[in-house]
Amino acid sequence: MSPLELFAAALGVIAVWLTVKQNSWCWPIGLVMVLIYSWIFYDVKLYSNMLLQVIYAALQVYGWLQWTQRGQTQKPRAVTSLSPGSVLIGLAVGGVTSLLLGGLMSSFTDATQPWLDAALTGFSLVAQVWMAQKRVQCWPLWIAIDFIFVGLFVYEALYVTAGLYAMFLLLAIQGWREWHRVPVAAQ
């Protein structure tokens, strides 16, 4: 455990808690966290996760704009629900991304867990886009992803990060509950 990992984990808890509360400050705080984690994951050879953090940086900006750039006359973005077909398309995109990235990482890098790392990355991208769009389905996907991430990070001896993802798991459960309390519109 490094002080940098501990700092990034603290930022992560704050960012996800703010997301649950639908506070747009989750995005800039999350941006700092993912930039730090890109270095941490590079250092332990979880290259798909490092790449995920770089993509998350762009998605943090996208999310911030989605949540804040609605104009003076428009209401903030509402929580909405995806149609079953849209959910299946999103999961298919996550699956294809996982397979392509896993193949690249296993063939061209010395990644420690190329296939699992790639699968978590592929589905995390889908969950992150859904979260930026305030789709209620982001939370059950995050619950599954975070549960698996905890095991991966324990295996990689990133115990602070495993603890962070255990907290993310709890916050995802809370987020799912809280986002269901508000009226959810269909897509």
Separation between Cα atoms, residue 43 and residue 67, nearest integer Å: 33
Total tally of structural domains belonging to the chain: 1
Predicted TM-score (pTM) of the model is 0.83
Q: How many CB atoms lie within 10 A of CB 160?
A: 18
Question: Which domain, by its residues, includes 79?
Answer: 3-186
pLDDT in tens, 136-146: 999 999 999 99
Q: State the Cα–Cα distance between residues 78 and 150, nearest whole angstrom.
A: 30
- Which of 7-21, 69-83, 153-167 is least confident? 69-83
pLDDT tens-place string over residues 53-84: 999 899 899 888 888 876 555 677 788 899 99
How many C-beta atoms surround the C-beta of residue 180 within 10 A? 13
**H or E element, residue 185:** strand 185-186
Is pLDDT at 48 greater than 90 in this prediction? no
